[in-house]
Each structure stands twice: as structure tokens, then as C-alpha cells.
Chains A and B, each alone.
Chain A
Amino acid sequence: MAFYVVQFLTGLASAASLFLVASGLSIIFGVTRIVNFAHGAFYMIGAYIAFTLTERLSGAFGFWGSIVLAALAVALIGVIVEMVLLRRIYHAPELFQLLATFGLTLMVEDLVVLIWGPDDLVGRRAPGFKGAIDFFGQNIPSYDLFLIVLGPVVLGILWLLFQRTRWGVLVRAATQDRDMVAALGVNQKWLFTSVFAVGVFLAALGGALQIPRDAVHHAMDLRIIVEVFVVVVIGGLGSIVGAFVAAVLVSELNAFGILIFPKISIILVFLVMAVVLIVRPWGLFGKPEAAARKTPGLTVNPWRPLTSNERLASLAALVIAAMLPLFAGNYALTVGSEIAIFVIFAVSLHFLMSVGGLASFGHAAYFGLGAYGIAFLAKMAGLPMIVCLLLGPLLGCLGAAVFGFFAVQLSGVYFAMLTLAFAQIVWSIAFQWVSVTGGDNGILGLWPSSWAASPSHFYWLALGVAALVMIALRAMVFSPFGYALRATRDSLLRSEAIGIDAKRIQWTAFVIAGTTAGIGGALFAYLKGSVFPDNLGISLSVDALVMVLLGGVETVSGAVIGAIVYKALNIWLVSQTDLSKLVLGGFIMLIVVVFPKGIVGMLEMLAQRRRKSSPPGSPLLAKPIESAE
């Protein structure tokens, strides 16, 4: 019995550290609607600074003072980031801020190694909490007891802050309806800055408090960020109590789960999230989001098919791309193939995100399923390449059909997180089911048949498929189905009122996007000759998001440019320097500030301005917008 009590307390201690970080993320999201990918980075910097301070300052006051000082210092960094970077892009399309915080995270990962060196750092234990307390023959670390008390105390302080202060009233009001708060004359700028500072302070405090139990190293951020997101979503976005309950739930399920299934930790949080979201679409304590007042951005620049001149230009670009084998070597061609494949992957997500308004955080699942489809068909059934290429993506299609059915019942960030949960479940199956998938050692030896083996032939194949995919998806955007899909995106209520079966349309779009991603994955398997669980992983899903956002989410085909720029730059930087993350992160942040609508989005805006300023009767303006159909 004593054992179960101690195990329960141990779970509570884990929950407390999770809660600190999660509460900060929840507050930030609730008010500013920023999906703060850098929250883990702030947590990590908190730990690093606290390590340095605790090594310098001695004594009990020195230790605890250092922890608080570190958290304050990081909060200050947070304020600077908010004022310099995020303030400029609050009015950018949804999720664009994710791109900025992603760039920041990349930079921080390299910076901490530059500043603190590559070795794992082990900090001091907390003075007064070094030992353990005997509980009927079981040991409970006294630091765990400290954390168990700290969690509810922080919860209480936050509750008081939100319920009993004017600032808290404003924060709650902004969480519910920030346009209304702005309309009532509240200075949003400072409200957002202060909220961001509080959120970052909590993240850094969470990181600093890990010093006595953890090692400080440069991958701490990734270790926690996804888990924290999951906790926030299970609890319900913007709900502090929800975050606390979810942290306890997840930690206790893990503490007792490993007694029965020792391998469960790897997937547990995602299973819990999937179940919770399917049963309660807004998390345990969340409320349905108020119908969003769409930013007019989506309607200012109406979409139109390409004019005949633009079609000719696209064709010319394709022809030039197809001539690459005439003057480029094998390496350039293989890189070209890889970029073409990522164009397919990015446009498939772009279709879902910008036409359907459904941002998926787990799109790599369908890319990877397509790749595994190839691996199964080629290695187990021994089918020839052509057949594999035609059938392999069907696994992506199947996955999208099953998961999409559940996912489209939700919307917004909840939709995104459910897709992430499904992707992680698929990933862990690929990772764990060693006898079939080979686990993380993957499936090797999937090289293309001789007709496609040479780099130039494979390049033409990838380029041809990419072109076909782009044409097909564009045709779909301007088909009746595409209009119906855009209607569900712009107003769910109105589209249902005119008889559109919104869920079915969205589900269809999800399956189309999943299958297309599967085509990309199938080609990728042949390009690399092998398949690994990496092909389904979070970082690939994030890459796809970055490509779409970089290109411009409000455009018809911005993802093409986003994919080319991001992938080419990534490959080149990785080849040139070990600090590729630092440079890439800096570049992304620069793009975010200079092109707040994405690269293509910005170019389109400039072109349109020029059109408006050109004299009336100019041929471009006179042309009825939809005439090309």
C-alpha cells in the first residue's frame, strides 16, 4: 500500500513541473492566440541561466535567489522578443506567429551550445531538500514534496491574480473576446506584453526548478514542448485549472501505467489526448470558441485562376526546371528531386490549410504512411516500382480517411492537436512494431528500378509528378468542390445553411491532402532507398507547416515557393555549417518580419498595389476576375 501512495506522490511531483510550464503556455495562447513554439526554448534558457547563477551564488539564499532571478531574466528576454518580434505580426494570418517562434527556437538551440558548451551540465541540489523522507519503508525525495506543494500554490496565486486583480479581469476578458476588449479602449499592446512576460516567467521557472533533478542540455526544449502542448489541450486552452488537472492526469497515468505496460510512456500522453478530444472536443475544462470574426485578409485579395500569361510563365518555369539535367551534376539532381518531393508534400498541406482552413500539425503521418506503403509492397510483396508507386500512397489515403473522420469533427487548434496525436500514434507504431517495420532501424534497400535509377530520370519523375499534383490541386481549388470547401472555411454556419455538408467536404479534403502527401512519401522512399520512423515524425510535420507559412497561407500556391526556399536553404546550410539552425532560424525570423504574409503573399500584395495604382482601363484590371475559368 505504501508503495502505491509513494508512486502517487511521485506522479504528483512530475505533474507539478509539467504544470508550471503548461500554465504559462496556456495563458499566452488564451490571450494572444500565439502558438508559442518557443515556450520550450524559454524553459531551457531558464535552466541554463539558473545553472550559471547557482554555481556562482552560494548558500540557501543564493540558490533560491538564483532560481527566481533566472526566471525574471528570461521573462525580460520574453518581453524583448514580444516587443521586437511578435508585436509586428499579430495581424498576420493565423499561425504565422508559430513560424516566428519556431525560428527563435532553432536559434536558441545553437546559441546555448555556443554559450554553455556541448556537455550536459548537472546543477546543485536544492539546499534543505537534498535527501528523502522515509514513508513506511519507501523513500520520497523531499524535493518532490516541495514540488507537490509548489504546484497548487502557483495555481492558487494564478487564480487570485486572475480573479482578484484588474489585470486578471482584463486577461480573462481578452481570452474570451479580444476584439471586444480592444473596442472598450484597453491598451492591448501592454496587456499582451505583460501576459507574454508572465507566461515566459512560468516556463523559465519550470526550467530552473529542474536543476536539482535533471541535466541541463541543449535538447531540453524539444523534450518538453510537445508534451506541454498536449497537457494544455487536454485541459482546455486558456484554462489554468484545466492545465493542472491534465498535468496530474497525464503524470499519474504514466506513473501507474509503467507498472503494467513498461513501454507505454512513449505514447501515453497522445493516447490520452486523442481520447479526450474525441469525447470532449474542447478539452476537459475548455469552452467552445466563440465564432471567430475572420480577419478581412482572406477576402481582400480574391483568388483567381492563372491568367494565360501566368500559365505560360509557369510552363516556362517547368521547362527550365526540366532542363536542369543538361547542366547539373548528380548531386544537384538528387537535391532537385528532394525539393520536388517536398513541394508535393507542402502543397498537400497547403491545400488543407489555406483552402480548407484546417491546419494539421501531424501531416507527416500521411507522407510517412505513403513511404511505408512502398516499403511493405516492395519488400514483402516484391512488387515492381510502378505498381508500388501507384498503390503505396493508398496507405496514406487509408490513414487520412480513418483519422480525418475524427479530426474534422474539431476545428482550430483542437483539430491541429488531434492530427498531431494521430501522427504520434502512427509514429510509435512504426517505432515499436519492430518485427514488421524494423523499428527505428527502418526498412532498407528500397532502391528504384533501373529505368528510374539514374539521378536525371528520377529527377524528371519527381518533377513530373510534382507538376501533375500542382495542376490537379489547383484545378480542384477552382472546381465546385473547391468553392464548397472555401465556403466551409469562411463561414461554417452559412455554408451549412445553403446545404453544404461541411463535415463531408472537409473529410474529403483531408483524404485528398493525405493521399497527395502519401505520393510525396512514396517518391521519398525511393529517393532515399529506405524508410525510417523519422518520415512520420513531428519535425517533418513542423517542416511542412513552415514551408506553407513561409510561402504564404493566404495564397493559392505559395507553398511551392515556400518549399523550394526552405528545403534548398536547409540542405545548403546543413552542408556548409554545423550552426545551420542558428542561421536558418535567423533567416526565418527575418522573413517573418519583412514578409508578414509569407513570400508569395507579399509579392502578390505588391503586384496588386501596382495594379491599383496603374491607370484605369489597364488590361489586367479590365479582365473579369473569373474569366479564365
Chain B
Amino acid sequence: MRARNYFIGAAFALLAGGMAHSALAQDIKIGEINSYSLLPAFTEPYRKGWQLAVEEINAAGGINGKKLVVVSKDDGGKPADAQTAANELVSSEGVAMLAGTFLSNIGLAVSDFANQKKVFFLAAEPLTDAITWSKGNKYTFRLRPSNYMQAAMLVEAASKLPAKRWATIAPNYEYGQSAVAVFKKLMSEKRPDIQWVDEQWPPQGKIDAGPVVQAVAAANPEAILNVTFGADLVKLVREGNTRGLFKGREVVSFLTGEPEYLDPLKDETPEGWIVTGYPWYSIKTPEHDAFLKAYQAKYNDYPRLGSIVGYQTIKSAAAILAKAGSTDPEKLIAAAEGLSMPSPFGEITFRKIDHQSTLGAFVGKTVLKDGKGVMVDSSYKKGADYLPSDAEVAKLRPKD
């Protein structure tokens, strides 16, 4: 028996020695999954963010004296591969919790895996409301402000506009569909006089922008809601500028103020759009200053929103692990529920009722400055103020 144990131990030592992320048994490991190869524009700054957090945490003595190690895996943008990675992290790497993911369907796949295998999962970026509400489960928490919250923040500004005839342009998949649905619902509640005159649903990543812009212009709306992002947004903006679609029309747009999506537009940035985003250049709070300084010192680059999300994901995970004082998933859940912690955007709390964090976002207007787009008149919207009442949330979420 003894000999056998030695043998297994030796085999494991060999295996572990061969691995890039070898770690000592007393380290605390977090398993991190994201679409690094599919979405490098977002995940590169994200990775820099969490690497900075790991460095800071370990420099400050780790988690209750133990060193924090993050084992990171690529999911290639496929839910099935994300589950394979999650399984490897849990079964082979023995991680204390899972974290990360960007796309909503991958977030949901990992959250379902976590629920089945009883593993704590902190979803970083997926926006879908389902992950905390209709398909929520007790093992899954989410950091970023959800679709609903972003919509509610935009509606607050949009409902003050005089425009009555609205058109929508959104990518044809769950994110676009639910963003439009929530925006329409909240908007119509505040402004029953509004008419929805046209909707366009280009396929994600494949917008044929010319005809879409023409079709929207033909409906002659006074205001437009845009949900497209990335390369689709670039094409839409370019066609829209050339064809004069945005002239004399208000535009409200999801996520466009995030540097990831705003910066590529350069001198074509349309002015006066009401957007959610991250104006890192104009946030003047001590928490953010500290983060900005550390980030720029380490990478000699400015942060994107992904950097904030990556940074705060690992900071939150560390806070939860420190409070739980254990890696037992049930204790982690108990520790996370209602836990408040500092973030570069100010204090945030993981709500007990639906496991959503109260991290907020900035809402502002786009302007062109020195040949590139920036957000001005921006103000921070606290996540807690843009969530439905507890009674409504309780109805939305299945009982654990």
C-alpha cells in the first residue's frame, strides 16, 4: 500500500513538474476561463487586469497567508470547450473556484457545470440576465452590470429626450434581442407616447451595413437605439456617417463608450451618442487613481473596461476566499452573499438575493477630441440603483 502511494506520488510529481502552472499544495488556486483566442481585443486587457490583481494580492501577503495562483484556460469561444476546460480545472488542477468567461452562452454553460459539480463560479463578463435570474443557481455569481442594468441606465437618459419615433439596430442573437426587449419595456413604461417604428437585426459579425442604414433611414425615426459592437459597429458608423443617418437624430448605444469599441472608431466617432462605457481619462476618485497608476506603471498602456473586469474579478474572488477562510463551496457561497468590497469604481456588494454584484457603469456622451472619440459629461451609475425590486427579482429567479 505504502509503495503504491509513493508510486502515485512520484507520478503526480512528474506530471506537476511538467505543467506550466505548477503550484504548491498550500497555494490557493483559482481556475479562470475566457475566450482568449476568439476575442483577443477584449481578453488581452482583461488578462492584464487580473494579472495585476494577482500580483497585488500576493505582494500584500496572499489570502490568509497563502499564495494565490490563477490557472487560466482558453475556451476558443465554444461552450463545449469551456466545459472541458472547467472540468480540467476542477478535476485535475483542483481549483478552489471557477471564474471568468465573456460570451453569455459560455457563461451559462460554465454556470450549469458549476451547479452540477457543486463548484463556486464567479462569472466575470457575460451580460445575459438569465445567468442570475431565469437560469440562476446558487453556485453562480456575476460581476459585470447585466443587460437589464445597462438598459435601465440608458433609459434614464433616453426617456428625457423629446424623440417619440424610435428605431432599433441590434445583433441577431440573445444579447441583442434581450437588450432591445428590456430597453423597449422600460422605455415604454416611462414614456407611453413612444412609437417603435423600425427594427433591424443584422447577424452578429456579418452586418451588411449599407442596406441596414438605408432601411432605418427610410422609417424616419427621431432616435435610434444601437446594440451592435466591435467590427459591426465600425461598419454601421461608417455607413451611417456617409449616408447622414445620424444627422439630426438622437442615438442611444450600449457599450459604445468602452475603450475597446470606441477607440477603433478614431476620427469617425459619431458625436452626441448617449452611451454606457468607461472614460478612464476623466474618473477622479482615489480608488480609480490607484488602479490607473498601478496599471500604467506595469503595462505602459491605458486600461480598457476589460482590464477593470479582470482586475475586479480576481480581487472579488480573493475577498470571498479570504472571508470564507476555506475552499469549501458552501462556505464560499455563504461568504460571498452580501459581501461588500472596494473596487476601482467604489464599493460594490454581491447581492444575496440574486448573486449579482452592484458594480455600475458610466453613462455619458461621445465627442470627437484630437481625432479620437471620448466620453464627456459622464457620471457613474451605481448598479444597485438600476435593479428591479426584490419582489420582482424573487419572481424571476428559480428557488435554489
The chain A residues found within 8 Å of chain B, CB to CB, are: 3, 6-7, 10-11, 13-14, 110, 113, 118-122, 130-132, 138-141, 143-144, 212-215, 217-220, 223, 227, 251, 254-255, 258-259, 262-263, 265-266, 329-331, 334-335, 338, 431-432, 434, 439-442, 444-445, 447, 455, 524, 528-530, 532, 534-535, 539, 571, 574-581
Contacts and interface: CB of A to CB of B under 8 A. Distances in A.
Contacts of B105: 440-442, 532, 534
A335 B80 CA distance: 12
B124 to A, nearest CB: 17
11 contacts: A3-B218, A14-B210, A119-B264, A120-B41, A120-B231, A262-B215, A331-B87, A331-B91, A334-B87, A434-B174, A444-B109
A359 B200 CA distance: 36
Nearest to A7: B214
A445 B112 contact: yes
Contacts of A331: 87-88, 91-92
Contact of A215 (B199, B218, B234, B239): B234
Contact of A118 (B41, B128, B174, B210): B41
A266 B202 CA distance: 7
Interface of B: 20, 36-38, 40-41, 43-44, 73-76, 78-81, 83-85, 87-88, 91-92, 104-105, 108-109, 112-113, 115-116, 128, 130, 135, 172-174, 177, 198-203, 205-206, 208-212, 214-215, 217-218, 230-231, 234-235, 238-239, 242-244, 263-266, 268
Contact of A11 (B112, B211, B263): B211
A576 B92 contact: no
Contact of A535 (B80, B174, B238): B80
A578 B128 CA distance: 26
Contacts of B38: 219
B109 A139 contact: no
B366 to A, nearest CB: 15
Which are the 10 A-B pairs with shortest beta-carbon distances?
A: A118-B40, A215-B234, A331-B91, A255-B211, A10-B210, A330-B91, A215-B231, A266-B203, A444-B112, A141-B242
B368 to A, nearest CB: 14
B91 to A, nearest CB: 4
A574 B104 contact: no
A442 B108 contact: yes
A265 B208 contact: yes
A441 B214 contact: no
A211 to B, nearest CB: 11
Contacts of A431: 173
Contacts of B198: 262
Given A263-B172, A530-B112, 17 more contacts: A118-B40, A139-B242, A140-B243, A215-B231, A255-B211, A258-B202, A265-B201, A265-B206, A266-B201, A434-B177, A440-B174, A441-B130, A445-B116, A532-B109, A534-B78, A571-B84, A575-B73
Nearest to A442: B105
A318 to B, nearest CB: 24
Contact of B112 (A255, A529, A571): A529
Given A120-B41, A223-B205, A442 B211 contact: no
Contact of B211 (A227, A254, A330, A455): A254
B231 A214 contact: yes
A511 B40 CA distance: 41
Contacts of A251: 208
Contacts of A529: 83, 112-113, 116
A452 to B, nearest CB: 13
A219 B264 contact: no
A511 B122 CA distance: 44
Contacts, number: 201
Contact of B235 (A213, A258, A338, A445): A213
A528 B75 CA distance: 14
Nearest to A254: B208
A255 B80 CA distance: 35
A265 B199 CA distance: 13
B234 A265 contact: no
Contact of A334 (B79, B84, B205, B209): B84
A419 to B, nearest CB: 21
A530 B87 contact: no
Contact of A574 (B76, B79, B234, B244): B76
Of A439, A442, A528, A539, the most chain B CB neighbours within 10 A belong to: A528
B154 to A, nearest CB: 21
A580 B243 contact: no
A14 B231 contact: no
Contacts of B202: 258, 265
A213 B201 contact: no
Contacts of B130: 441
Nearest to A576: B20
A534 B234 contact: no
B87 to A, nearest CB: 5
Contacts of B84: 334-335, 338, 571, 574-575
A11 B212 CA distance: 11
Nearest to B206: A223
B103 to A, nearest CB: 9
Given A6-B214, A14-B208, A528-B109, A580 B74 contact: yes
A432 B177 CA distance: 10
Nearest to B37: A578
A534 B77 CA distance: 10
B88 A258 contact: no
A439 B92 contact: no
A447 B116 CA distance: 8
Contacts of A122: 234, 264-266, 268
Nearest to B135: A444
Contact of A262 (B37, B200, B230): B200
Given A217-B231, A219-B205, A439-B174, A528 B108 contact: no
A375 to B, nearest CB: 12
Contacts of B206: 223, 227, 265-266
A206 to B, nearest CB: 15
Contacts of A580: 37, 74, 76
Contacts of A212: 238
A287 B201 CA distance: 37
B112 A13 contact: no
B223 to A, nearest CB: 18
B113 to A, nearest CB: 7
A475 B217 CA distance: 63
A121 B268 CA distance: 12
B211 A258 contact: yes
Given A11-B211, A335-B84, A530 B79 contact: yes
A7 B211 CA distance: 6
B181 to A, nearest CB: 10
A438 B199 CA distance: 21
A237 B141 CA distance: 52
Contacts of B41: 118-120, 217
Contacts of B44: 118
A13 B210 contact: yes
Given A120-B231, A259-B215, A263-B172, A218 B40 contact: yes
A332 B55 CA distance: 32
Contacts of B128: 441
Nearest to B83: A528
Contacts of B209: 213
B210 A441 contact: no
Contacts of A143: 242
A258 B210 CA distance: 12
A141 B78 CA distance: 38
Given A122-B264, A528-B109, A580-B37, A574 B173 contact: no
Contacts of B116: 445, 447, 529
Contacts of B87: 330-331, 334
Contacts of B239: 141, 213
Given A7-B214, A258-B215, A263-B201, A575 B88 contact: yes
B243 A439 contact: no
A6 to B, nearest CB: 6
Contacts of B104: 440-441
